Structure formats: C-alpha cells, structure tokens
Amino acid sequence: MDFFGTLMRLARKYFKPHHRIIIALLFFTNIAALAFLFNSHNDRAEISKYPLIDFSRNFIAQEHYIINFQPLRDDLKEIIKKEQYKGVEVSIYMEFLNTGANISINPDSRIFPASLNKLPISMAMMKKIENGSWGINDELVLLPVDINQKYGKLYQYPVGSIFTIEFLLKTALQQSDNTAFAILYRNMDAVELNSVLEELGLKDLFNDAGQITAKEYSRLFRALYTASFLNRENSEFMLEWLSDTDFSEFLSRDIPKNIMFAHKFGINEEDRVFSDSGIVYAENRPYLITVLVSVTGNGTPESDLEHAVRIMSEISQKTFLYINEL
C-alpha cells in the first residue's frame, strides 16, 4: 500500500494548497523525529552491550586505537643516542591520547624548563578566576620590578601601564613574554601555586634547582585536555590560547599548518636549554608530546638554537608520520 501517495491524494481532495504544504512538512518532520528516536535507541542499545568497555570506544573507530609504538620508540632512541655523543641531553615523553600508550626516553633527566614554567602559573591564575577570587577582566599594573627584556615586548610599555588579566595570560602563553609573566607571578601567592601543584599530583614537578622531567610536565597538558583541573570552559580557553601562537619552530616546524598544536615553548640561551610541550590534534589521533633539550659544548647561542631546532624537528616529524600513516 502506497501510504504516502494515499495521504497526498486525500490532502489534495480536502485541503487548500497552503494547507497541503503544512501537512507535508509535519509529515516529514514526524518521520525524521521517529528516525532520530530509532537511531538513538539503537545507539543506546549498542552502548549498553559493552558496559565494561571504555565509554569513548563508542565514538572512536577501531583503526584510531594504536597501541604498538615500539618502532617509533626505537627511532627516537637512535636520535637521542646520536645526540648524546655530541654532548646534548634530550628527554622525551609522548602519549597517544586515544589509548594512553606512551614513549618515555630519559625519564629521570631533569632539565631547566625555561619558559615552560609559565603554564602552571597560568593554570593557577585561571583557577583563581574560576573560583571567583579574580575576574578575567580585572586589571594589574606594570611595576619597575616586572620589567624583563630577555623575551617579549611588554617591557617597552611605560611603568604604570595597566593590563587585564586575560591580556597578560594570553601574552605570557602565546608570546612567552617575560614581563607579562612577571606581573602575574608577582600577584600570586606561593601557597596558592603549591596548592595547585598538589591538586594536580605534581608536588615534585620542580626540584630544588627548578628543573623538571618531560613526563611529569606532560601531566599539565593532560589535565587541560581532560578538563580535570579547570572546568571545560576554562580548559578550552587555555588550549585555544596555546594553539594561537606565531612560534613555528621546534616541534611546530614539521606539523602541517592545518593541524592544531596547543603548546608552550621555552628558550633560555644563557642556560642553553630549549623545550616544547603540547597536544597535537591530529585528526582522530591526538597525541601529547614534550621534548626538553640541554646543549653543552662550545657553540654560540645561535648554533645552540639551530641545533635544538633540528633535534625537535626530527623528533616531531618522525612522531607525526608514524601516528598518521600507521
């Protein structure tokens, strides 16, 4: 029986043209609603069949679950071994976020973080905003003690300049501006920062010399990715800021421009340390990566930087290709 045809013949017989249009729209709307409910029921039934399986498995296809990273691990170890002969210390932590499979090379190596320390401070700031102690549009003033010319351009502003907390956070994270960071840090209580690290389970993130390990530091980005420390809105804010930077060296160099990379980089030419850490949002296959590099020898600041760029570029390229071509 042609149900739809019969319905339309009756509509033409008893209703005016504009009424027929309304009836047809209602008919198709109801059909769509029934189809949606039917599919939703099937989806719920499918999910309920596997109550012991990770819930995210219902939304991620099997081919995007990678567990074997041994070939990549071997390749990265070769890079590290080659650099050790040159007097360069490298620490790597990589985690495939769909499965938690990870690579940790020189996990106990502690290296000065350079500007990576701006991230935990910024997360502590955002926590104060989240709990209502501060507002994101509250303003802080630039004092002489805050001026730092080593990185960034905010030091060029006159003493007494006023900036919103949002502006300072974005400038510290995106441009790694030391003056913006100094203003924020001056307004933080050490007790507040320590409580943040304790809440994250990172009480020993920094040793007495202020050094970090790649693996421990990576937990900061995992906390943002899972919105397990800040709420989802504020975690999203921070990851958006971290992905909107003009810095395109280190790990960024060999990540395609259409792939989002939310990261924090660090450069300290005096201590000859270079670092980069963040989340690569490869399609259906996001991963977290942190690389710390400490250079020794008789190089110049320029050659040290070029060396660090080459190391991180090679690590990033091999990691991205392995994950996306497997």
pLDDT band at 2 (very low <50, low <70, confident <90, very high): low
**What DSSP line would sit under 91-126, residue for residue?**
EEEEEETTT--EEEESTT--B--GGGGHHHHHHHHH
- Is the pLDDT at 21 greater than 70? The verdict is no
pLDDT-derived band at 79 (thresholds 50, 70, 90) equals very high
Confidence band for 200, pLDDT divided at 50, 70 and 90: confident
pLDDT of residue 29: 64
Residues of each domain in the chain carrying CATH 3.40.710.10 = 66-109+246-326
pTM summary value: 0.84
Architecture of domain 66-109+246-326: 3-Layer(aba) Sandwich (3.40)
Q: How confident is the model over 206-219, as pLDDT tens digits?
A: 888 889 999 999 99
Run of H or E residues at 289: strand 287-295
- The pLDDT score that the predictor gives to residue 56 is 83
pLDDT tens by residue, 250-279: 999 999 999 999 999 999 988 899 999 999
Going from the C-alpha of 209 to that of each of 34, 102, 106, the distances in angstroms are: 64, 27, 18
Distances in whole angstroms, Cα of residue 244 to Cα of each of 64, 195, 325: 26, 28, 26
> What local confidence, expressed as pLDDT, does residue 7 receive?
47
How much helix, strand and coil, in percent to the nearest 5, is found in the chain? 55, 15, 35
pLDDT over 90 (residue 204): no
277 touches 261 (CB < 8 A): no
Q: Report which of residues 8 and 319 the model is more confident about.
A: 319
* pLDDT value, residue 306: 92
Q: Is the pLDDT of residue 98 over 60?
A: yes
Q: What value does the mean pLDDT of the chain take?
A: 87
The reported pLDDT for the residue numbered 104 is 97
Between CA 185 and CA 304 the distance in angstroms is 29
